[in-house]
Amino acid sequence: MASALTVLRRLYLSIYNWLVFIGWFQVLFLALKALKESGHEHVYNAVEKPLLLAQSAAVMEILHGLIGLVRSPVSSTLPQIGSRLYLTWGILWSFPEIRTHILVTSLVISWAITEIIRYSFFGMKEAFGFAPSWHLWLSRYSTFLVLYPTGISSEVGLIYFALPYIKASEKYCFRMPNKWNFSFDYFYAAILALGIYVPGSPHLYHYMLGQRKRALSKSKKE
């Protein structure tokens, strides 16, 4: 019975990974197409649907980790997915004024390339059972060297440039007085988010560098 479950698991994960891969591939394709044909101001409109879908689908990965379907620790996937969803829904979708910014282009392209590599890697592992050739494997642990800085800078930049729109709109704010003496100010929360990026990004980058070193030294031994 265990092997039937294993087959089911692999089938499900293969379908999941390849579907999301297609989503991100669409994002990259449409982004480059819009960039070439209309300019960076129109990139968001071109990619909105597949972006929202593909990025939101990542929530499934938290579930996968929790129920033990995959081995990734929830503690590392949660902040990554959290920041992605925050940018996608909390900034880009919520504040249309920021959508024409050029950093949107660098953001979606960085994200899309990273995710295309990641999902195809896992897709192949689940579907064909083996890790792809060292060439592809290397790109998984090497492209982040460029894509993390470009992606993170885009994220930080977009939050920063969206700040005036956040403050003016008063969206997602909960004010006092109320009987629970509670308040929430989305503007200050955004500033706090920026504050977290300061120690958070080098920490994450450092972690990835460590992962890369381990993975590459392991392959050297084989």
User: Would you please indicate which residues are annotated as catalytic (active-site) residues?
Assistant: 148, 155
**Residue 183 CB, nearest distance to other proteins (Å)?**
8
Residue-by-residue DSSP string for 97-113: GGGGSHHHHHHHHHHHH
- Give the separation between CA 36 and CA 16, rounded to whole angstroms: 31
CB nearer to other proteins: pick between 36 and 179 = 179
Question: Using CB under 8 A as the criterion, which residues of the chain lie in contact with other proteins when the complex forms?
Answer: 176-183
How many of the other CB atoms lie within 10 Å of CB of 202?
11
The identity of residue 98, as a single letter, is I
* Nearest distance, CB of residue 184 and other proteins, angstroms: 9
Strands (E), 167-217: none
User: Quick one: which of 175, 193, 194 has its CA closest to 185?
Assistant: 175
Q: Between residues 12 and 174, which has the closer beta carbon with respect to other proteins?
A: 174
Closest CB 153 distance from other proteins, rounded Å: 27
Rounded to the nearest whole angstrom, what is the least distance from the CB of residue 9 to other proteins in the complex? 29
Q: Which residues contact 198 (CB under 8 A, 6 or more apart)?
A: none
Give Cα separations from 60 to 53, 79, 82, 168 (angstroms): 12, 14, 12, 34
